[in-house]
Amino acid sequence: MIEFKKFWWMIKKELISLKRHPARLVSIIAFPIIMILLFGYGMGGEMTDLPIVVVSQSHGDLTDLTLDTIKTTETYHVVEVMDSLDEGKQRVDNGEVKAAIILPSDYDKNTSNQKAVTLYLDSSDQMASQILESSTQGIFYRISNMVASQTSVSTKDADIEPSVIHSLDNFKDDIALHINRIYGNIKYIDFLVPAILGMTVMMSCMMGMGATIAGERETGELARLFMTPTSVATVIGGKIAAKLLIELLRALILIFMAVLLFNVSIKGGFLQTFIVLVIGALCFVGFGIMLSARTSTQEDYAQLSLPFSMPMMFVSGVFYPIETMPWILQKLAYVFPLTYLNDAMRGIMLKGQTLGDVWIDLVVLLGFTLLFFIVGVKRFNRDV
């Protein structure tokens, strides 16, 4: 039988500890903020201000238009516009800039030949080079469209063959691609934040249970509790209640910071997001209990939990969609509870689904929770 007075003592103890150690309270608040900043800005933000040089070997209106476009594009930070091709390449080779955009000498000439603009790219920086490549392609696609449009206008003005005008206009107007984003314009950060919330809850729950159970086993505090006429379920229940309270506080801060810092929209509502996080926290607290059931020191616990927490972080679809992973990792992902938490969180936050819509994820999470608690309590021994 679980005794609630003893439960309450564990919660009270945690609260007193926090009150007497304001630094710990700061850590509870700071940890989620750091996590969300680290992953949000570090991994989820857009790359801007990549240093480049422009080698301009031509002069004229088109060159000016191109330079203006490049300079006003956020992706680039134009360090210098120069004439010398060799110097431009040299700057890239030396690693001073990420790329050189080379406008050829015939860039401004009216010629029917294709104008060969070169992007001299430092491809060793895979992320930056991909961004630069797609961004530069986009710019020159737009410029060539603008030129085509101006040409059509000028040819109109010059009263040239209407059929040519028609064909050019038709080419642009006849094929129109309409993109219908059913969940709105989702950026990578939007995709990332729900899973970051889940992952942060996972990490803090698992680390926290190590300190609570294995740590107190190591210092003998748990022994004192186990020498009293108290069931294992009550002792563990008290620990869980205390831990959960802290984690809920952390979850609230996480959601608040995600909205505040990244303007993340929570389409399914705050309450549903919170409920999913609570279920996730309960599941990972259970996981921590199961792992710490037989470990005698915090160090043992850390060694034991690492092989679970690390793969879970990278395989459960936090950073990349599970479908893009090799098949073996895809299979592995579905035995990790974090996968289901992420799925439910994204469903609620991004798609505006309800708890009913993500019921499979929730049932699986609750199933894992039950399993972890049963195994944890059964395996738990009073031997301290």
Partner 1 sequence: MKNAIETHDLTKVYSNNFKAVNSLNLEIPDQTIFGMLGPNGAGKTTTIKMLTCLIQPTSGTATVGGYDVQKNPDEVRNLLGMVPQQVSLYKDLTVMENSQLCADYYGVPHDERDSRIEDLMELVDIKYAKDKVVGQLSGGQKQKASLVASLVHRPDILFLDEPTIGLDPTTKRTLWDLIRELNDSGHTIILCSHDMHEVDMLCDNVGIINTGNLVAYDTPQGLKDALLESNRQEMTEALTQISEENEVSTSTKEDFENLSLRKMSVLLKNQDEGIINQIRLINDVKSIEVARNGRINLRIDAFDDMAVQNVLDKISQSGGIIKSIYTEEPSLEDVFIKSTAEVNEDDRV
Q: Give the separation between CA 54 and CA 66, rounded to whole angstroms.
A: 10
Q: Give the separation between CA 134 and CA 86, rounded to whole angstroms.
A: 24
Query: According to the binding rule CB under 8 A, does residue 226 interact with partner 1?
Result: yes
Query: According to the binding rule CB under 8 A, does residue 229 interact with partner 1?
Result: yes
Q: Give the separation between CA 286 and CA 216, rounded to whole angstroms.
A: 17
- Of 71 and 224, nearer to partner 1 (C-beta) is 224
Query: According to the binding rule CB under 8 A, does residue 379 interact with partner 1?
Result: no
Q: Give the separation between CA 279 and CA 362, rounded to whole angstroms.
A: 8
Q: Give min distance, CB of 224 to partner 1, in A.
A: 5
What residues form DSSP beta bridges with 71?
A: none
Query: According to the binding rule CB under 8 A, does residue 31 interact with partner 1?
Result: no
Q: Give the separation between CA 68 and CA 179, rounded to whole angstroms.
A: 29
Find the binder of partner 1 among 80, 133, 221, 357 (CB under 8 A): 221
For 372, counting Cβ atoms within 10 Å of its Cβ (0-12 exposed, 13-18 middle, 19+ buried), the class is buried
By CB under 8 A, the residues from 180 to 199 that bind partner 1 are none
Query: According to the binding rule CB under 8 A, does residue 219 interact with partner 1?
Result: yes
Q: Give min distance, CB of 246 to partner 1, in A.
A: 14
Query: According to the binding rule CB under 8 A, does residue 225 interact with partner 1?
Result: yes
| Segment contacting partner 1 by CB under 8 A, of 144-152, 181-189, 219-227, 330-338 | 219-227
Question: Is 291 in contact with 71 (CB distance < 8 Å)?
Answer: no
Q: Which residues contact 37 (CB under 8 A, 6 or more apart)?
A: 261
Query: According to the binding rule CB under 8 A, does residue 296 interact with partner 1?
Result: no
Find the binder of partner 1 among 59, 142, 166, 224 (CB under 8 A): 224
Query: According to the binding rule CB under 8 A, does residue 26 interact with partner 1?
Result: no
- Of 146 and 223, nearer to partner 1 (C-beta) is 223
Q: Give the separation between CA 192 and CA 77, rounded to whole angstroms.
A: 26
| Segment contacting partner 1 by CB under 8 A, of 75-83, 192-200, 218-226, 316-324 | 218-226
HSE-up of 374 (CA within 13 Å, CB side)? Answer: 6
Q: 232-262 vs 22-42: helix axis angle to the nearest 10?
A: 50
How many degrees, rounded to 5, is the angle at CA 66 between CA 62 and CA 71?
Answer: 150
Query: According to the binding rule CB under 8 A, does residue 220 interact with partner 1?
Result: yes
Q: Which amino acid is at 47?
A: M
Find the binder of partner 1 among 228, 307, 324, 328 (CB under 8 A): 228
Query: According to the binding rule CB under 8 A, does residue 9 interact with partner 1?
Result: yes
Q: Give min distance, CB of 296 to partner 1, in A.
A: 13
Q: Give the separation between CA 276 and CA 357, rounded to whole angstroms.
A: 12
Query: According to the binding rule CB under 8 A, does residue 119 interact with partner 1?
Result: no
- Of 6 and 77, nearer to partner 1 (C-beta) is 6
Find the binder of partner 1 among 27, 105, 144, 381 (CB under 8 A): 381
- Of 142 and 224, nearer to partner 1 (C-beta) is 224
| Number of residues located near partner 1, criterion CB under 8 A | 23
Q: Give min distance, CB of 227 to partner 1, in A.
A: 5
Question: Is 232 in contact with 3 (CB distance < 8 Å)?
Answer: no
Strands 76-82 and 50-56, how do they pair? parallel
The DSSP result for 272-335, as a single string, is: HHHHHHHHHHHHHHHHHHHHHTS--SHHHHHHHHHHHHHHHHHHSSSSS-GGGS-HHHHHHHTT
| Segment contacting partner 1 by CB under 8 A, of 250-258, 283-291, 319-327, 375-383 | 375-383
Q: Give min distance, CB of 243 to partner 1, in A.
A: 15
List contacts with partner 1 (CB under 8 A): 5-6, 9, 13, 16-17, 20-21, 219-221, 223-230, 381-384
